[in-house]
Amino acid sequence: IIEAVTIAKNKGVPIISLTHLCKNSLAELACLNLYCWAPKQKINNYDVTDRTSLMIVLRKLSEHYWSLC
């Protein structure tokens, strides 16, 4: 994803990142950073991290976007 974001940024596309609350390469490329707190959790080696906060932010962003169209 970093390669695709770099290409888009070089073409002048505004980048919005939505990442875990930490310093990361995707957030460094973005002009607007949104963060969600979601600590990693594993049970029996399966990723069971709760991504509810991420889904709420994505839903609100998409609702706002579609209201502008």
The answer to whether the beta carbons of residues 38 and 49 sit under 8 Å apart is yes
Does residue 68 register a pLDDT over 90? yes
Tens digit of pLDDT for each residue in 2-60? Answer: 999 999 999 999 999 998 888 899 999 999 999 888 888 999 999 998 888 889 989 99
Q: What pLDDT does residue 37 have?
A: 83
| Distance from the Cα of residue 40 to its chain's centroid | 15
pLDDT, residue 62, reads 94
Cβ atoms of 16 and 34 closer than 8 Å: yes
pTM over 0.85: no
